[in-house]
Structure 1
Amino acid sequence: MDKFLEVFKKLLEKFKNLSKGVKIASIISAITLIIAISSLFFYQSSNKYSVLFSGLDSADSKTVLSALEEQGVDFKVEGDSILVNKSVVDKLRLQLASNLTMGSTGYELMDSGSSFGMTEEEFQIKKLRMQQGELEKTIKSFEQISDARVHITLPTNSVFADEKEPGSAAVYVKLVAGKTLSQEQVKSIVALVSGSTSISKDNIQVMDSNMNLLSEDSSFKLDENSDQNVTSTSIATQLELEKKYEAQLQKSILELLTPVLGNGKVKVMVSADLDFDSTKVTETVVDPNKVIISQKTSKSENNSSEGNDNASGSGSVIDENMGNTIVTNDKNTKSTTEEQTTNYEVGKTETIKIKAPGEVKSLSASVIVDGEINDALRTAIEQSVSAAVGLNTERGDTVSVAGITFNTKDTGNITDPFAEPEANNNNMIYMIIAGVVGAILLIVFIVLRSKKKKANKEVVTEEEGNLLDIVIEDKISKVEEEELKPIEFEVPNQNIHIENEIKKYAAEKPQQVADIVKSWLVESER
């Protein structure tokens, strides 16, 4: 401990001796390093755990936590999520999935107690609960649905047909955020419940967590055998089909024109209006030729003794229950009645036509070509496009072709504002590394700059000390420098040579020269 304190004191003394700039840089670097290490530790610790289960109800959460505690598994609870170590998450999920009821209890009720002594009514209620639980589990398995509840009312039986009430069912669904159910999917849920309970589809209602009645669609109220039930589609599906049809036509036009005009030299837009109404037409044609299918003839005679002078008769036989009577003027009267019934079959032909939904009501296409085009090329493109997409002028289809120069200067800078940014899990690590590297570079820069300033100060101090040495010391140390040949401004002679030698001697031995000068002065005074 004492050694540690001693080292700490030495470091503190060294820190105090540093310049102000180095101290600031050291403090900033230390703070940056601490933040980087803390962030890295937090990131690593947060990535150590992975979600085992999320959104469980209280009963399932208790079951999972109890199982994890029994196995001694390290776990964390964050909100409604249970997190465990990444290395065991898959194994634990497989082990515990069978113990989860997902908030619904189905046939597990059979294992939760004995049915001994149970009345028929109690058994029917238990059976109904199991049926509801199994339906809830099935509906929850759909990816658009996070939770579901099913309520079934069984039909009441009675010996009187008028007093018998049909069963009904109500389905509550909680949708996943951002997900919706189409009418076809709602119909599938209704069909699932109807097929499991023998309840009529008309008596099944589906609603979501926003209190929207999803089953309120006209197709559910039609007859079971109606063809319109099969062909009815939702608005969302209709729009999707229109978009797919338009995209298919656009692709066909581009494949036709791109090899001729060049890649990127043509733009195509197609707009289609489809008729999604399903129509059923029944046509009956009556055959004018009659066909006899049956004929009945009846004849009766009547004799009378009274006579009559008048005679009347009719010798014609008429169809359809008309009789023939013969009367004579004798005293004895004889009456004969004959009836004939003929049944004819009227021939007829009945034709049922069902128009499938998706018929094209109108179609329009627009083609823009890069650059100016002449009339001949425009006409050729119009004819080719019309033939490729099957344009029909009788229903009002149109095609437009224009030649306009494309502006490609700013197209590279166009970005989709609604495009979602790509997820990058390594951003935090990159930021931490960049911060650490930046801090290290800052420290190196400040230290080098401080050393450079210190070196400059030492050089200046050394030069000042040399100057003081020159003033104070008696002897000047000879500095080895490169000898340069002096510039000769005068012509050398004997006197100049002697003078230079004296100066050189005086410079090398000033004390001796001073003594000589003193001796000269003393001799001159004498």
Structure 2
Amino acid sequence: MDLRAVFSQILNFFQRFSKKQRVIVIGGVIAAIAFFVFLIVFATNGKSRSDGYSVLFEGLTPGDNALIIQHLQQNQIPYKIPNEETILIPRDKVYEQRIELASQGIPKNSKVGFEIFDTKDFGMTDEEHRVKFLRAIEGELSRTIESLAPIQKANVLIAMPKSSVFVSQQTPPTASVMLGIRQGAALTSAQIFGIKNLVAAAIPNLTVENVKLVSQNGEPLGEDDEITSSKEVAAAQLKYKQNIERALEAKILNILSPVVGGEDKVVAKVNADFDFSQRKSLQEIYDPNNVVRSEQNLEEKREGAQEKQIGGVPGAVSNIGPVQGLDSQNGREKYEKTQNTTNYEVGKTVNEIKGEFGVLTRLSAAVVVDGRYKRVLNKEDGLEHMEFVPLSEAEMEKINLLVKQAIGYNQKRGDDVTVSNFEFNAKSQTFVPEGKMDRFASKLEMYLKPFTPLLKYLIVALIIFIFYRKIIVPFAERMLETQNNEEEKVESLFEATDDEDEDVNKFSEMRKRVEEQLGIGKNFNEEEVRYDVLLEKTKNIIEKKPEEIAMLFKTLIKDEINPDMK
């Protein structure tokens, strides 16, 4: 496409317009460009003001705003306050004042972090150290939360109870977070849960359940997490079920389409039942083949005289030794003791089993297939008709088997598959022999089918071209013809004016010549000359046509004498 040629054609077409039409077209184009420029400038410079003021700071605390206003008043800088969180100053002083205020530490950050420990205080008590440490954690958490995209402000408050030596008397810590959400933004349930986890992980013994979030409007955040999560889980379960059903239906169509003659001759619907309950089980298995870990054997042997036994009649004699007759030479003793201790290593296997997201409990499939059609000659009209022929039982059994294999049929699970054979076209179709034109049309349709999307755009382009040639071009030509006619009329008027001027000049020159030839001076009377000329012409006419002039005078006289006879 030659851009120069197009541009020259547009220029030539524009030059054919009249001055009025050119002014209208140029004015419309300029107005449209100015309007779009205004929109762009207004959109990209939304914070700038038409009166020359721009935003110095926005969204600060009242304390910081007071310090900024005090600084502006001391330096005699004009300012405006359109709302309680915005300060405007002249646009040419914005960056200079921001740098100067930053050098003075304004705006001040009310949130302190661990920089509070940069200065050492040797007289600090343990309680003061605990409070400062708590303030540092709150400040660091607030800064971290404010760095998130949807959060404009954040304030974290932590309630840390004193520790107790008694476990039963210990109180868990809690935390409250106030979130200032940006305008137009919203927190998702995942983001709320993430903020809670962030706060809970920064404080010892703090659980997610003990972290409460509220918005700047005092609305609780994350209190309906269970309801929201249950809805999300239900939606995920339904989507999972539908995806499985569609996949199984696609399998049935793919396997039966070549058999029955195409996808338009088979309809398949699958229903899958799932068990989405989550189950966890802990299984411990002990190994029966024990392994010896340690073994201990103890053996004791003793042989010798038997211990002497004291006896006799109770009394003083028996308590005085040695007692005669207690020695026995035949009292020999033999003692043996054996002890064996074996320790076995007990083998144990611990399995933690977590149930799947969804367990398939039952499948049911309903499949409807079309039959065959044969040509039958109708004796009444002499035309061939298509007659429905149902499939045989053997064919239906094969189709049923194919469907079961495709979906993974399991009889123990209670799956059910139903295959039916129906006539899709209830009315008998008349068969008309296909002619050459029909075959040509079918082949043409087959070849053009891949280009159907492109043909749509070509048809639209053709319609636009016809509209341009039949409506826009004739209208433009009529406008140009009207314009050319108007220009020709104007030119003819100018030409006529020029001709009249030339005639006047020629007449003046001839008059001067006649006056010079007749010797007429400045006292020339034009009326007298005109009268003499007319009188001379009248005489000439009377001499040439006396009879006609006489009849004319007679008629005039009669009309004057008898006016009522008319």
Q: Compare relative contact order (CA 8 Å, sep 6+) and give the higher one, 1 or 2.
A: 1
With the length of structure 1 as denominator, give the TM-score of the two structures: 0.44
With the length of structure 2 as denominator, give the TM-score of the two structures: 0.42
Q: Which has the larger radius of gyration?
A: 2
